[in-house]
C-alpha cells in the first residue's frame, strides 16, 4: 500500500484535505437551487463510498509496505471494524446537521461555527491519543482559529436579522454538529496501528488506513438510511421530502453533482488519514479543518453571503482570515 514517509508530503496532503473539506459544500449550493439538501445527501454518501473503494483497490493494494486491501480485510478484528464503522456513523449524523445548517444559515456561518468547534475538540482528543508535535504551537494555533470563529460570529451578528428564529436554528445545528464531528477522526484513527508496527503481532486485527476508510464510508452510507430518512420525514425547516422525489425530480446532472461532492470530501478525508501517521493525527485533523477558512472564502467572495452586511463588516472578515492563517501556520509548525 502507499504510505507517506515525508513530513512535507504529509503537510501537502493535509492542505489538499483543507481545500477539499472546505469546497465540497459548493456542490450542495449548486444542487440546492433545484432540490432539497436531503436528496442531494443520498448522492453525496454514494460519492464518499465510491471514492474509498477506488483508493482501496489502487493505493491500498500497490507497493510493498504493509498489507494489501483484501489481505487486511481477511485479518481485521471486530473491534477495529466497529471503531471505523462508528466513526462513519457519528460523522454522518454530524454532517447531516452541517448540511442542514448550511441550507439555513449559509456556508460562511455554518462552517466556522460547526467545523471550528470540531477542530478544537478533534485536536484535543487526537493529541491525547497520539501526542505528536509541540503542544505550545499546536494549541496556540487552535487558539488562533477559535479567535477567528468568534470574529466570524460577530460579523454574522451584523447581518440583517430577518428570519431570526430560523437562522438561530441554523446556528444551533452548527454547534451540535461541531461537538459530534470532533470525535469521528479519533475513532477511525483508533482502528489503526502506527504504520511502523503494522506487522507487529501485538497489533493483529487492526486496519490499514485504506481498510479503515472503507469501513468508515460503509458506516456513513448505511446509517444514511436512518438519519437522512428521518430528516426527510421531519425536516428542520420546510415541508417533508417524499422519497420518490429522488427519482422523479432528479436528473443525471443533479445526481452527478451530489456524487462529485461526496468524492471531493472523501479525497480530503482519505488524505488526512493517510498522512496522519507521519504528521500526527492531531495536526492532520487540525490542518484539514482549516477548511473553515476555505468555506468562509467561498461564502464571502463567491456566494456573497455578507453582501447585505453594514459598513465595517469587511474589516472583521479580513481579521478573521488573518487569525485563521496564523492559527493554521502554527499548527503546521508544531511538528516541523
139-151 pLDDT tens trace: 999 899 888 878 8
∠ at Cα 26 (22, 30), nearest 5°?
A: 175
In a domain, 318, yes or no: yes
pLDDT of residue 161: 57
In a domain, 2, yes or no: no
pLDDT of residue 193: 94
Write the DSSP assignment of 139-186 as a string of letters. Answer: HHHHHHHHHHHHHHHHHHHTS--TTHHHHHHHHHHHHHHHHHHHHHHH
In a domain, 321, yes or no: yes
107 pLDDT above the threshold of 70: no
Q: Could you tell me the three cell numbers for 155? A: 460579523
4 vs 9: CA distance, rounded Å: 7
Structural domain span for residue 131: 7-333
pLDDT of residue 108: 65
In a domain, 1, yes or no: no
Q: For residues 303 and 107, is the Cβ–Cβ distance under 8 A?
A: yes
In a domain, 81, yes or no: yes
177 vs 95: CA distance, rounded Å: 7
Give pLDDT tens digits for 251-282: 999 999 999 999 999 999 999 999 999 999 99
Residue 164: partners with Cβ closer than 8 Å, 6 or more residues away: none
In a domain, 70, yes or no: yes
How many CB atoms within 10 Å of residue 149? 26
Q: For residues 274 and 4, is the Cβ–Cβ distance under 8 A?
A: yes
pLDDT of residue 33: 79
* Number of domains, the chain: 1
pLDDT of residue 336: 67
Amino acid at each position: 500500500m502507499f504510505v507517506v514517509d515525508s513530513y512535507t508530503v504529509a503537510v501537502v496532503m493535509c492542505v489538499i484535505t483543507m481545500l477539499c473539506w472546505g469546497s465540497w459544500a459548493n456542490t450542495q449550493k449548486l444542487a440546492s437551487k433545484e432540490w432539497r439538501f436531503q436528496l442531494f445527501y443520498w448522492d453525496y454518501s454514494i460519492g464518499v463510498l465510491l471514492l474509498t473503494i477506488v483508493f482501496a483497490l489502487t493505493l491500498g493494494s500497490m507497493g510493498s509496505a504493509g498489507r494489501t486491501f483484501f489481505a487486511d480485510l481477511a485479518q481485521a478484528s471486530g473491534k477495529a471494524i466497529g471503531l471505523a464503522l462508528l466513526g462513519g456513523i457519528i460523522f454522518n449524523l454530524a454532517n447531516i446537521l452541517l448540511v442542514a445548517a448550511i441550507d439555513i444559515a449559509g456556508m460562511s456561518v455554518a462552517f466556522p461555527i460547526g467545523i471550528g468547534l470540531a477542530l478544537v475538540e478533534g485536536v484535543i482528543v487526537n493529541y491525547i491519543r497520539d501526542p505528536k508535535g509541540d503542544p505550545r504551537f499546536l494549541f496556540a494555533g487552535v487558539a488562533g482559529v477559535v479567535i477567528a470563529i468568534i470574529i466570524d460570529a460577530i460579523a454574522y451578528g451584523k447581518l440583517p436579522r430577518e428570519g431570526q428564529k430560523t437562522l438561530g436554528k441554523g446556528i444551533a445545528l452548527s454547534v451540535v454538529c461541531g461537538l459530534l464531528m470532533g470525535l469521528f477522526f479519533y475513532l477511525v484513527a483508533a482502528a489503526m496501528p502506527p504504520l511502523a508496527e503494522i506487522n507487529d503481532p501485538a497489533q493483529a486485527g487492526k486496519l490499514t488506513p485504506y481498510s479503515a476508510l472503507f469501513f468508515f464510508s460503509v458506516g456513513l452510507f448505511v446509517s444514511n438510511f436512518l438519519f437522512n430518512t428521518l430528516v426527510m420525514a421531519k425536516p428542520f425547516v420546510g415541508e417533508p421530502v417524499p422519497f420518490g422525489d429522488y427519482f422523479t425530480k432528479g436528473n443525471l446532472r443533479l445526481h452527478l453533482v451530489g456524487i462529485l461532492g461526496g468524492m471531493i470530501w472523501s479525497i480530503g478525508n482519505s488524505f488526512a488519514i493517510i498522512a496522519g501517521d507521519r504528521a500526527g493525527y492531531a495536526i492532520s485533523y487540525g490542518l484539514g479543518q482549516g477548511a473553515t477558512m476555505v468555506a468562509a472564502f467561498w461564502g464571502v467572495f463567491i456566494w456573497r453571503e455578507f453582501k447585505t452586511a453594514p459598513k465595517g463588516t469587511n474589516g472583521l472578515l479580513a481579521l478573521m482570515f488573518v487569525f485563521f492563517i496564523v492559527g493554521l501556520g502554527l499548527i503546521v509548525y508544531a511538528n516541523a
